[in-house]
Structure 1
Amino acid sequence: MYDADDSFQLLPGAADSPVILHVPHSSRIIPESVRDGIVLDDRALELELDHITDSHTAEIAAAAVEAATVTPWRFVNGVSRLVIDPERFPDEREEMLAVGMGAVYTRTTHRERLRPPGADPRPLIERYFRPYAEAMTAAVGERLAATGRAVVIDIHSYPTEPLPYELHGEGPRPPVCLGTDDFHTSPVLLALAEKAFVGFGGTGVNSPFTGTYVPLTYYGKDPRVSALMIEIRRDVYMTEPGGPAGPGLAALARGVAGLVDALSGV
């Protein structure tokens, strides 16, 4: 069983690498104590995990590390986003709360009930969310201290067809969607990412998903922290909704590695 202290991993890279590959949604693990607070039966929960998990993204990141000339750092969530979603915020005002997908989800991808009415999110926030956020903040701070800059590259995936929880699912769904932030994503960073994934049939920007992850300590405040989200359409590399990876995984890993090396100046 996972405790808060081991529900995520920071895997070290090269001392002079500014890059952190962030993999927040790849795990299907739900500790039994958390499972007890979910109303879905086992079959329904497995299906929901198929839809909600960014399957094999941890494998993409791991293969990219092996292929990169300068080893990036990796921050990997070891529990499912059905435990907590580290990329939401406990007091967030954003629209995902409207579909029951704040820091602790109350609804599924199909807008069905995930947790009972009135479930208290605070124990999960304290046990899982806050330690994760603090560790990620520290990881970014360490890269700033070591290299003078930090680059957070978020690795996600999304389904070929929109799911009911998506509030902007009517937009383009390119093979690779690049999520940006006006403050933390420079034109140079975006151009490097577009070049790295040029061979995958096209990239798009901020559709169907937008934004990046930056710890709140730095968000909108420190220009030394850069960030980009990579959203990979799942049919590019796996069998949907939750099946095995295919040959596209290795090619995507090479693309990520190319981006890492470009950001590392090699």
Structure 2
Amino acid sequence: MSGHRVRAGYLFVAPFMIVFVAMLVVPLAYAGYLSLFKEQLIGGTTFVGLDNYVRALGDERLLGGVLRVVRFFLVQVPIMLGLGLLFALALDSGMMWLSRFIRLGIFVPYAVPSVVAALMWGYLYGPEFGPIAQLAGALGLPAPNLLGEDFMLGSIANVVTWEFAGYNMIILYAALRAVPPELYEAAAVDGAGAWRTAWSVKVPALRPALLLALIFSVIGSFQLFNEPQLLQRLAPNVIDSAYTPNLYAYSLAFTSQDVNYAAAVSFLLGLIIVVVSYTVQLAVNRNRP
């Protein structure tokens, strides 16, 4: 009987494993293989070992894109997670009217495809016909160039925050619903008010969920692609092909046809994500009381 159960377990897991190997393991292995070669005019495809990785480590355009997404991460992620935490605490307080409707309204932007969101905000940012520029003109104020070099990174951060604040709110709100009621009762017995309960009971209980959301944000920040790729058409002089590492790898592979170097850049980007994610997790766990 146990043998039948074991075989049944393997049969249930088999579809996932097949898709996992076919869609993730095999492409990764093939990309790693490509990154060790170089296409040359004389001699064709040649094995170069780690030369592509050495080249990437000294590539100023790649390093500039990495530093740009680091700045993006340090500014955008705290704001996004802070908003998600604020929304989750407000909904969990039980003092909001129409809480289900409000929760759905906050979450809806996440259901909007990032392509549609970027196009929508690109229209809103438009320096000539966008509503923001028209409102500034109606008030007699100079229209801010939200697609200019000084504002572009902040404009992209605003789009991403609008998209994912609700997603993080759902993660944190679900974690709050799992907090044992005994903790709230103990806080009430000790005379803690709503603010004290939120700070001393709810926020500490959310630490694992916040860590999960933070790691997801690390991955998303370093994989930033759709928003700058679409806004590039509106501001080609501001967003170049190396504005973010993901956009640079895409341009190398599909515009410059340098798939070998693009594979090496992608692998380095994946390594950076792993290192940063592990560092964040280690730092949070060390600070845990």
TM-score range, shorter chain: under 0.3
Name whichever structure is richer in strand by fraction.
Answer: 1
Q: TM-score, normalised by structure 2?
A: 0.21
Name whichever structure is richer in helix by fraction.
Answer: 2
Question: Greater Rg, structure 1 or structure 2?
Answer: 2
